[in-house]
Amino acid sequence: MIKRRLQLSALAGLAISGLLVSGCSATEGDEYELHYSTYSNSTSDQSLTMQRWAERIGELTNDEVTVVFHYSESLVGADESVPALLDGRVDMAQVGSMYAASDLSMYTAAELPFETQNPEAHMKSLQRLFSDNKTYREDFDRQGVRQLFPLPIGSAVMGSNEPIKSIDDFSGKSIRSGGLVSEILLAGGANPVTMTATDVYESMERGVVDGYTSLGMSNLPTFGLANSTKYIADPGIGAYASSIVGINAELYDSMPADIRNAISQASDEALSMGIEELDKEGSLACAQAREVDTEFFEWADADVKEFKARSNIADQWVARYEERGYDAQSVLNEYRSFLAEEGASSTYEDALTSCLEET
């Protein structure tokens, strides 16, 4: 049986030489040391969720499976996650929809704005797409990646140095964003700016950008934005992206049934773990923002409707990918059906909504 006990120095050396196939060393025993790469730091809600998953998988397998964490792109970059999983530079990785559009096209359905304000329904719907929708799943199969579970993503906030209370306030403003959200900002008259989340604080301070989105409340403490943003709005975008934990499919399929079952059980449990960590960080962000008198406001329904109507983003998404041979409409239809079902059974309230109610 293959025992995954490759040290980081050896891992790096093999990767550089181009000889790394799966990151394995053959020894006796049924133990697996899985190297996990993430672009998040060690204290983010997404990393905390994954740390709890690792503890749980250790419990379920009597420590036959352990996880080695590589945070903050220290092993591979965020845009390399899928190729690194395929060629074996990593065993598991955080895969962000904004970084994987060319590799996992159908996964970008997760970025469609105005579909849901419920992060729990969003996560569960993406898990069901992987299990139940052939078109969605085929992308992962082609890339040699298995989706284990989605990591928590909250509803998009609009942080700014000056109030942005409606679509009219967008005119000429430079807003940090990413993925499909950039398309709706452009249609709304703003100038979308691509930058990593770690650069947002300094860019806001220096006036390089007028505001930011494509972040949720739970992200703000991590990047120093919870106690430095003057205005925070809910523009009605809702879920704006996704992050999943992926594993090399060949590795997963080679594992004994009891190990695969343990991974499946821990991954199912991780959905609730993720919501708990999302809620903790979101509540912290709200408290920090209130301490510095951040002004919160919610866009009027009429402005949200106009914002949505200007882009027609969902139809554009379907047309774009059906031209490339995907049955994208079936993915969108099932995604919306799952969102409706999961939303009806969920009582979870995003931190942005909770903070607006409290203020």
Q: Is residue 240 a contact partner of residue 167, using CB atoms and an 8 Å limit?
A: no
Q: What distance in Å separates the CA atoms of residue 193 and residue 212, rounded to the nearest whole number?
A: 9
Alpha-carbon separation of residue 196 from 25, 41, 202, 213, 222 (angstroms): 35, 13, 11, 12, 13
Please provide the CATH number assigned to the domain covering 158-240+281-320+346-358. Answer: 3.40.190.170
Q: What is the pLDDT of residue 209?
A: 98
What pLDDT is recorded for position 30? 76
Nearest to 282 by CA among 343, 199, 349, 230: 349
Q: Which residue's structure tokens are 């209370």?
A: 165
Residues of the chain with CATH 3.40.190.170: 2-104+115-150+242-273, 158-240+281-320+346-358
* Nearest-angstrom CA–CA distance, 296 and 359: 7
Q: Which CA distances in Å does 276 have to 52, 131, 173, 223, 227?
A: 11, 24, 35, 20, 22
> How many Å is the Cα radius of gyration of the chain?
20
Q: Report d(CA 205, CA 351) in Å as an integer.
A: 25
In tens digits, what is the pLDDT along the chain, a chain of 359 residues? 234 433 333 344 334 333 333 344 333 457 999 999 999 999 999 999 999 999 999 999 999 999 999 999 999 999 999 999 999 999 999 999 999 999 999 999 999 999 999 999 999 999 999 999 999 999 999 999 999 999 989 999 999 999 999 999 988 999 999 999 999 999 999 999 999 888 999 999 999 999 999 999 999 998 999 999 999 999 999 999 999 999 999 999 999 999 999 999 999 999 999 999 999 999 999 999 999 999 999 999 999 999 999 889 999 999 999 999 999 999 999 999 999 999 999 999 999 999 999 86
Q: H or E segment at 57?
A: helix 45-60
Cα 251 from Cα 62, distance rounded (Å): 20
In this prediction, residue 358 carries a pLDDT of 84
Q: Is 271 helix (H, G, I), strand (E, B) or coil?
A: helix
Q: Which residues of 245-267 are buried (b: 16+ CB within 10 A; e: fewer)?
A: bbbbbebbeebeeebeebbeebb
Taking CB atoms within 8 Å and a gap of at least 24, the contacts of 108-111 are: 108/179, 108/180, 108/317, 109/136, 109/317, 109/328, 109/331, 109/332, 109/335, 110/150, 110/239, 110/241, 110/242, 111/179, 111/180, 111/181, 111/240, 111/241, 111/242
**Number of neighbouring beta carbons within 10 Å of residue 96:** 26
Task: Tell me if 206 sits within 8 A of 344, measured CB to CB.
Answer: no
Q: For the chain, list the strands marked E by DSSP.
A: 2-3, 25-26, 32-37, 65-70, 92-96, 145-151, 158-160, 174-176, 191-193, 211-212, 231-234, 243-248, 295-298
Which 8-state DSSP code applies to residue 89?
Answer: S
d(C-alpha 320, C-alpha 112), whole Å: 13
> 2-104+115-150+242-273 — its CATH code?
3.40.190.170
Contact indicator for 274, 123 with CB cutoff of 8 Å = yes
Q: For residue 144, what pLDDT is reported?
A: 97
